[in-house]
Structure 1
Amino acid sequence: MAHLLGGENLTVSYATRTVLDGVTLGLEEGDRIGMVGRNGDGKSTLMRLLAMRATPDSGRVTKRSEVNIGYLDQSDVLDGDLTVGAAIVGDKADYEWARNPQIREVMGGLVSDVDWHANVHALSGGQKRRVALAKLLIEDHDVIMLDEPTNHLDVEGVAWLSRHLKTRWRPNQGAFLVVTHDRWFLDEVCNKTWEIHDGIMDPFEGGYAAYVLARAERDRSASVMEGKRQQLVKKELAWLRRGAPARTAKPKFRIEAANALIADVPEPRDSMALSKMATARLGKDVLDLENVSLDFLGGEPGQKLFDNITLRLAPGERLGLVGVNGAGKTTLLKLLNGEIQPTSGKVKRGKTVVTAVLTQEVKELDDVADLRVIEVIEREKRSFNVGGKEFTAGQLVEQLGFTNQKQWTPVKDLSGGERRRLQLLRLLVGEPNVLMLDEPTNDLDTDTLAAVEDVLDGWPGTLVVVSHDRYLLERVTDHQMALLGDGKIRALPRGVDQYLELRESALAGSTITGGGNPVTAAGGGSGAGSAPAAGGASEAEKRDARKAKNRIDRQLGKLKQQEDKIHAQMTAGAGDASKFDELAELNKKLQELAGEREALEHEWLEALEVLGE
């Protein structure tokens, strides 16, 4: 496989900390690489270097001259004054981009619910992120680098992106490098994993699951070697401590060797272990929603977010919730927590229930922003019972990955992941018996996520998790339910896969698929997004239009394949005078195909007008 780009002896330091220390690596054609590591260990820094958006303190990045790199940063890079359409396709007319199946696929997969004519600055953070991702993916790149692309994407969006990346190139063409905490996504799309830690990069073959297995084996081997080394350390220390008078006669090389062994003891990695927290006793009655309906908050009377739903939580139940944006997942948690009251129906709460909610925001920490980490926990309690053992606040905080130095850091100076960890710890030390987590994976790296899951494994209360991270849902919950945006709540015996199937069926009934993905009003420009004719089309006319559009999409795809084949034949025969007649015939066929394509594109736009898209 051909080499695309690489870095040699890359070193980057900030103040007194070295983030990357002489890292050498490369990307080859066919590489699908996921980059993992703790927050702050240099993943984004390394990606910026390889994308040539930053310069290392020492070392260099090289690439083949013709290699085109696409890069999605975590920051907002769009011009806020542009409309969504202009931000994605520039000043191209509808027919120019609409003829490209890949562009239509990206539009449908990422921005189908975004107003094509809205200014970018008026969009939410999640919508801006998806517009930026769509702009990148419609372009032709040899290498794509994505820094946290799954942020703000729901389960469907993550599934779509994984399909797109798996089919974007042939197996031995192109390459991408992705940083994400979504472990299902890493497993689905990556054939290699880079772990960034302690200033170095360790490569592993395979996706996240293969990486975890390989790292466990590496750590096991290292543990055996460390055991042997520790025995040697003890012997050398004993030898060195046989009294000061004798030490002066000891060979210098033995003293230096022993000191090297002692100095080589590595700092332990942050660990997080909080299992079996003392939990308030939970009776047989927990939380029940009985025939609950709720009007849209701020909407017209009669517009229902929930329509006569019933949900019963049992002691120790572990429920995962998935659903489309705006279907009411967060609102459902608020109903269960008693923060809002239903329009009709009953919410029953057990007498012994003590709830705690981890919200998507970390505003709960605003009131303690000036306190240090240890002070926040000491305000709750000074000693805790964990697994039958008594721990001081300092010991408990240290087990949650806050080193002695970090314990005395003001809350306002913590990173997003550290604030999230502290927020969860603060909830748990309150000893709830019903824990509700709203998108708990935000800002957490894969190691911390694994540690949080370990905490939840040993937590004995009732658990409700809202998340787009299907790895987390399948890992910590026993069953899942879906909010499909129709006011109902539906059980998912087959889990997230069943939810995706339900959503695909629902979309097939209301949108048209191009390349297997929805293309809706947001996927059109000024013409394609025009309003339906006066009076509107009948349902029968819309069905016919959908069928026509499906047929046209397939035909356009076949035409493009034929055109590409003819272009390749013409390129191969160029410059050969003996093939003049053959080239003329090929050119004639190409013109005929262009005429067919123009007619089909006209039909395609007409179908959109009927559908009001």
Structure 2
Amino acid sequence: MPAPASLVALDHAHLLAGTQVLLDDESVGVLDGDRIGVVGRNGGGKSSLLGVVVGTRPLDGGRVIRTGGVTTGMLGQVDALDPRATVADVVLGDLAEHEWAGDARVREILAGLLGGTDAQALGGWDREVGPMSGGERRRLALAALLVQDPDLLVLDEPTNHLDVEGVAWLASYLSTKRPRPGNALLVVTHDRWFLDAVSTRTWEVADGHVHTYEGGYAAYVLAKVERARVAQVTEERRANLARKELAWLRRGAPARTSKPRFRIEAANQLIEGEPPPRDTVELVRFATTRLGKDVLDLLDATVLAGEKTLLDKVTWRIGPGDRYGIVGVNGAGKSTLLRVLQGHHPLAAGKLKTGKTVKIACLTQELRELEPLAGWTVIDAITEVRSFTTIGGKEVSASSLAQRLGFSGGRQQSRVGDLSGGERRRLQFVRLLMDEPNVLLLDEPTNDLDIDTLTSMEDVLDGWAGTLIVVSHDRYLLERMTDRQVALLGDRALRDLPGGVEQYLELRQQLRASGGAAPARAAAPAGTGGPAAAAAYTPAQVREARKTLARVEKALDRIHAEEALVHEQMVQVSTDPARLAELTEALRTLGEQEEALELEWLEASDVAEG
């Protein structure tokens, strides 16, 4: 089989941003069929790299080689839509109605992003762009780019302003519907679930270099840990964080609900002895000590937003140490529910009971609270709250916590007014933790944060003893940070989701299929228990699953032995190209068999554990 053709390649590329070196003599390329996820710290050069690839950012040295005839399209972070244009102008351009209406691909894009082929979700084809919200304009720009369907699709934070459902649709479309010979995808995003669902390769932009990895986010984490171990990297803290992240990927929902891209045996060796991300029992014990038995109780609560009823006679008991994630479409009332829990939004009926020792803090989507501190240094803005706090049973200084969340020693002396949006978000979070709340509400905490910072935030909260409520469209973060999820579906109820985000998407699909009528209401979550119960299985199903596990484990052992034998043979025939090619093909076949068995093992383990 011929090697994939190169669509765009950087040859000894050198790129500067002031005195910062973003690319230092880098050579890297996008090949036919690639779906590349780009990760790295904010300010590290990810968006600049995309600009170089599409030709909007010139290099300071080296060259960009583009295959003739390859078309390129980019969704940037900055909105460039003409405010006087209509929905039809932006999305369909010069396409006649019979052209787009007869094209199943275009109809699917319109349904997935705009709500239908009549675009009523955005107010009709003749609606002008100018008055639209940022989220609506983002969907329009993305839909227009997908309709154009360039050979090389370049997306910079495409999941911004998309809800969980929109992210799931986009991931499915990009990974299963769009791929064709001669095209490729390059995407920058902090959404780790999306990266794993879409990417076949990962680029990490760091310190002027582009490090390449095979596979999506899970494979990237594994490979990064292996590289660190082999090279005996001295950055012990970052390596430990990566190991912890890998342990989550193997234990958590993402590894059980998506196709694994790394070997079970290798992962198990790396996380041997690694404890679960959180000691739930111990954290609940500490939380109960801090909070008592009563935290927040919504009793027969009715919540209005103007004339719209968001919740009708809902009871929700939130106990010490509970960790809830809230999902729902935009406008369903998620942020309003957080304000209700804080006592900032009145109830039309019912009652909110707040425990006597409850101290609530909320990470909002607004950053205005930092404006009075614009002339302060970062460390002064933190120590103004408190100089020391306790996390994970250990006393932590303000400087140490700031460093864990990305503020190096030098950056702690920067003025608040000079910080980027992501850095202000981090500072906001550090100040909240230093104030020692025992109930923490996070409203879209992923906004403006890179993956490294999100991982650090999760690591800090793993040792935080309190009650946590998170509103987010980031599926990975919800499943990583919280123990159970609830949903607002627009039917005035609060739905418990034992099946997590996957169950939410199924409920939304049922809602659409029924023409807008909500499925039968489920009971609202109650009590102070930990993770929701797993799906019920019959004893016969559990027995069959355990038999499957035993069979698959024996088969994996056999394949591992055969792989080891092939590796030994490859060493012995290293000077025989023909024999080496045969053994390489044999190794590839064993790898495919192993991957299929791993998926079967993971599916059976869900039933066996249920």
Q: Give your verdict on TM over 0.5.
A: yes
Deviation at 1:415, TM superposition (A): 1.4
Name the CA shift for 1:402/1:354 in 2 (closer, same or farther; >3 Å): same
Name which structure has the greater RCO, CA cutoff 8 Å, separation 6+: 1
Name the CA shift for 1:391/1:468 in 2 (closer, same or farther; >3 Å): closer
2:71 to 55, 68, 72: 68
**1:114 and 2:122 equivalent?**
yes
Which residue number in structure 1 is paired with residue 426 of structure 2?
421
SS at match of 2:410: helix
Once the two structures are superposed, residues 519-542 of structure 1 have per-residue CA deviations (whole angstroms, 9 ceiling, x without a partner) of xxxxxxxxxxxxxxxxxxxxxxxx
1:305 to 290, 307, 310: 310
Once the two structures are superposed, residues 223-249 of structure 1 have per-residue CA deviations (whole angstroms, 9 ceiling, x without a partner) of 26899xxxxxxxxxxxxxxxxxxxxxx
Which ranges in structure 2 are unaligned for 5 or more consecutive residues? Answer: 116-120, 237-281, 517-610
Once the two structures are superposed, residues 20-50 of structure 1 have per-residue CA deviations (whole angstroms, 9 ceiling, x without a partner) of 1111111111111000000011010011100
1:403 to 408, 415, 435: 408
TM-score (norm 2): 0.73
Amino acid at match of 1:312: R
Once the two structures are superposed, residues 536-589 of structure 1 have per-residue CA deviations (whole angstroms, 9 ceiling, x without a partner) of xxxxxxxxxxxxxxxxxxxxxxxxxxxxxxxxxxxxxxxxxxxxxxxxxxxxxx
1:502 to 504, 507, 510: 507
**1:41 and 2:50 equivalent?**
no
**1:105 and 2:108 equivalent?**
yes
Once the two structures are superposed, residues 165-195 of structure 1 have per-residue CA deviations (whole angstroms, 9 ceiling, x without a partner) of 1123446541100000000000001110000
Name the CA shift for 1:225/1:510 in 2 (closer, same or farther; >3 Å): closer
2:34 to 10, 31, 34: 31
TM-score (norm 1): 0.72
SS at match of 1:120: coil
2:169 to 155, 160, 170: 160
Partners of 1:50 and 1:61 within 8 A in 2: yes
**Pairwise mapping of residues 13-412 of structure 1 onto structure 2 (< 5 A)?**
13-112=16-115, 113-116=121-124, 117-170=126-179, 172-223=181-232, 281-297=290-306, 299=307, 303-387=308-392, 389-412=394-417
Distance in 2 of aligned mates of 1:179 and 1:7: 17
Once the two structures are superposed, residues 53-74 of structure 1 have per-residue CA deviations (whole angstroms, 9 ceiling, x without a partner) of 1111011111111111111111
Deviation at 1:155, TM superposition (A): 0.3
Percent identity among equivalent residues?
52
Which residue number in structure 1 is paired with residue 485 of structure 2?
480
Deviation at 1:370, TM superposition (A): 2.3
Q: Rg larger in 1 or in 2?
A: 1
**Pairwise mapping of residues 533-548 of structure 1 onto structure 2 (< 5 A)?**
none
Distance in 2 of aligned mates of 1:19 and 1:312: 50
Deviation at 1:201, TM superposition (A): 0.7
Partners of 1:327 and 1:487 within 8 A in 2: no
Amino acid at match of 2:473: H
Partners of 1:289 and 1:312 within 8 A in 2: yes
Amino acid at match of 1:5: V
Partners of 1:322 and 1:329 within 8 A in 2: yes
Deviation at 1:222, TM superposition (A): 2.1
2:10 to 7, 10, 15: 7
Name the CA shift for 1:92/1:226 in 2 (closer, same or farther; >3 Å): closer
Partners of 2:404 and 2:456 within 8 A in 1: no
**Pairwise mapping of residues 492-531 of structure 1 onto structure 2 (< 5 A)?**
492-510=497-515
Amino acid at match of 2:174: L
Worse-superposed segment, 185-194 or 10-19: 10-19
Amino acid at match of 2:86: T
Partners of 1:146 and 1:179 within 8 A in 2: yes
SS at match of 1:404: coil
Partners of 2:203 and 2:213 within 8 A in 1: yes
Which residue number in structure 2 is paired with residue 545 of structure 1?
none
Amino acid at match of 1:114: L
SS at match of 1:203: strand
Distance in 2 of aligned mates of 1:90 and 1:364: 42
Once the two structures are superposed, residues 427-469 of structure 1 have per-residue CA deviations (whole angstroms, 9 ceiling, x without a partner) of 0111011101011111111111111111111111001011111
Which residue number in structure 1 is paired with residue 540 of structure 2?
none
Deviation at 1:387, TM superposition (A): 4.7
Once the two structures are superposed, residues 232-269 of structure 1 have per-residue CA deviations (whole angstroms, 9 ceiling, x without a partner) of xxxxxxxxxxxxxxxxxxxxxxxxxxxxxxxxxxxxxx
SS at match of 1:291: strand
Once the two structures are superposed, residues 184-210 of structure 1 have per-residue CA deviations (whole angstroms, 9 ceiling, x without a partner) of 000001110000100001100000000
SS at match of 1:122: coil
Amino acid at match of 2:122: V
Deviation at 1:17, TM superposition (A): 1.4
Worse-superposed segment, 170-179 or 98-107: 170-179
Which ranges in structure 1 are unaligned for 5 or more consecutive residues? Answer: 228-274, 512-613
Distance in 1 of aligned mates of 2:322 and 2:451: 25
CA RMSD, Structure 1 to Structure 2 (Å): 2.1
SS at match of 2:130: helix
Name the CA shift for 1:224/1:94 in 2 (closer, same or farther; >3 Å): closer
Which residue number in structure 2 is paired with residue 606 of structure 1?
none
SS at match of 2:290: coil
Which residue number in structure 1 is paired with residue 590 of structure 2?
none
